[in-house]
Amino acid sequence: MNFSFNIDMGMRRNNASVVRFGIVVVTFFTCQTTYSVRAEDPIVFSRDVAGILQDNCVACHGPKKAEGGYRVDTFSDLMTPGDSAAEPIVANKLDESELYRRITTMDTAERMPADTEPLDTQEIERIKQWIESGGVFDGTDPKQSLAFVRPPKTYPAAPGSYAQSIPITAVAFSRDGTKLYTGGYHELLVWDIQLQQLTDRIGNLGERIFAIALSDDGKSIAVGCGEAGRNGEVRLIDLATKSVTSVVARASDVVLDVAFRPSAGNTLAAASADGIIRVVNVRDHSQDRTIASHADAVNAVAWSDDGKRLLSASRDKSAKVFDAETGDLLTSYQEHGTAVRGVAFLADGKHAISVGADAKLRQWEVESGKKTAEIALPGEAFRIDRVTDTAWIPTTAHKIIRVDLTNNKEAATLEGHHDWVLCVAYHREQSLVASGSFDGEVCIWNAADGKLLAHWKAVP
């Protein structure tokens, strides 16, 4: 099974590490989420067909790439012929439906999906029955993305205990700083920091958790999750009920970062490995806009403190600034020359910082894209947690670097991890720093003096 962590981080590990990681993948990531359809149930597009198309076809026939001039990312697009002018779907007529011919032909040069395994017999049968029953659309808007047409999945329960630790790719403090949220397998794990004990497990989430964002009021959590190359979601968790209340964003690949817009807690930006930024209203689930400016996976997003601008980092080697109201591209910074993985605005809103695979923090002007400062880091960097004039940066050197943004100098180094540090979170009131690493360890630090206060393997 392909694992989405490689998509956003661009990891380069030695053979021993790859084997070690492969054991974790095999141990944990063998479950598949499927819909159960009884023989007597009628085949409907939203439940039975939309997911097949999104998981297998949108990557080559979607908004960023439309092979043969044909798209399938909405029902309206699905029914519109591509360059060949052949009708994709003809109601009740399989022999005249080009899409059905393409998924069943024995000619590998024509068969879809291209360059991969054909659809399985059950998937083909569902499409066949749907066409034979009239090819009807049962949604409300034929121009709506298939991601929103298909019903939300109910994911399998996580195992009672984990046989192996998993990489910790996301951490977040509770509002009062007494609890820590970490990503698990199909679940969010809640830890009592003082006792270093697991207190809650919130399930019904995507296979892997890549981002956790607490709402401004502290009442809900947005979780970016998904399964590599197949789907991604942002699921909203109500902390009072400790349950998923809604799916507010969907993507054709894993969601790698989420961020609530300051002073507009109902608006959220989601960065996805499909190269698209989605700005959504979490209250009414409407999608304000999609930004498809990047040519590769979007690894991170960040808002300016006033919420007027949005910043992104991508594997396409660029960081970009957008107008938050219109989505218009304002600036593109491309001096890293490698994948950019973390971004943040400075408090003045006039400067931004970015980090990535080049092991450097770069500061640059938002308006001009001109570099104003550069700091060498001890290893490749994955994220930035910026609070006022301080930036916390996790690195492959097993260290967290604190940078003083008033003088652009390294102010402190937190050491104690034994593997790549992948994520970091800072709690200002409690003066705590939390971090997670590739080997599944979580560390809690005193931000003032850098003392390691606690550490444990974040597995049930």
Q: Of 279, 237, 283, which is closest to residue 255 (Cα–Cα)?
A: 279
Give the integer Cα–Cα distance in Å for 73 and 276.
Answer: 13
pLDDT, tens only, 170-214: 999 999 999 999 999 999 999 999 999 999 999 999 999 999 999
Q: Which helix (H) or strand (E) holds 9?
A: helix 5-9
pLDDT, tens only, 337-392: 999 999 999 999 999 999 999 999 999 999 999 999 999 999 999 999 999 999 99
Query: How far is residue 273 from each of residues 42, 155, 307, measured CA to CA in Å?
Result: 34, 21, 23
* Residue 48 tokens, joined: 């039975």
pLDDT, tens only, 89-134: 999 999 999 999 999 999 989 999 988 889 999 999 999 999 999 9
In contact, 425 and 434? CB cutoff 8 Å: yes
Domains present along the chain, CATH in parentheses: 45-149 (no CATH), 171-457 (2.130.10.10)
